[in-house]
Amino acid sequence: MHLSNYLDDVVVWAPAKINLFLEVLGKRPDGYHEIATLMVAVRLYDTLVFRGESSPALTLSCSEARLSAGLDNLVLRSAKLLQDRTGCNCGATIRLIKRIPMAAGLGGGSTDAAATLLGLNRLWQLGLSDDELAKLGGEVGSDVPFFFHAPAAWCTGRGEIVTSMKLCMPLDFVLLCPAFGMATAPVYKNVVIPSTPVSGDPIRQAVQKGDVDYIGKLLHNRLQLAAEMLEPRIAEYARMLVESKPAGCLMSGTGSTLFALCRSADEAGRVTAGLERSVKAHEFKLIVTRTA
């Protein structure tokens, strides 16, 4: 996340994430699933603008009309949690400029929540550390703590236990974002938990070495088959990405976004050019990006 002050406002740029690896280890007593995942932040950003209010009131406006601006929005939930835990009597007007597709497996709601905690911590001069904010974020959503450890991290538990990782080089991607989204709960409901989980150690080592072709061979998402069973177009789009011959391709999170991991920015351009010929026949958006 990137944070800056502009006149009376605090502005935060909140990145999307993709999962290079996601294994489901089992069902937890609390109803969540135990997972192991390797996530990286990418240069696709929502922007949040925070302005202080003298009263404790919290208001949210959003550029995306389909997104609720009520208390069910993770932005307001995060702001209210921060008020409650710190006893802060300040309020804020929050403006969200939405660019990350919704229900797409890119962590849009989670990154907005993390940005809210970061931005209001600055605006209200609370002095909380990133670790303290990440712990609060884990109460809002499983992916929220990751964004305080970007650009890369290994996440376990339900996703809230985060170990930062270093990237020795940027990774280039082409995101294929379908016009439809995927709800998280049905995908997890349909996943088949393996008796022997795939180990994430090899891909962690490959990422730390910067071996793109090896990373591509080790990409893994246990949820992809479950998502494809619910929405066959995901499998169709995955085949299109494979045919473009990148280093590897995978679905991110619970979908619907798929990505091609490319060996260079030039290859990302080539993959995009090839896929653009299919855009008119299929409803999806292509985004060329790299790790943040």
Q: What residues are labeled active site?
A: 17, 143
Task: Work out the angle between the directed axes of helices 108-123 and 130-140 (0-180°, nearest 10).
Answer: 140
Q: How far is CA 218 from the centre of its chain?
A: 20
Q: Tally Cβ neighbours within 10 Å of residue 4.
A: 10
Backbone angles phi, psi at 36, to 5 degrees: -135, 125
Residue 159: which region, alpha, beta or left (left: phi > 0; alpha: psi -120 to 50)?
left
Please report which residue ranges of the chain form alpha helices under DSSP H.
Answer: 74-86, 108-123, 130-140, 184-190, 201-209, 212-218, 224-230, 232-243, 265-276
Tokens 């302005």 belong to 51
Residue 69 is which amino acid?
A
Residues 180, 20, 242: CA angle, nearest 5 degrees? 65
Reported residue count of the chain is 292
Distance CA 88, CA 83 (A): 5
Quote the longest CA-to-CA distance of the chain: 57
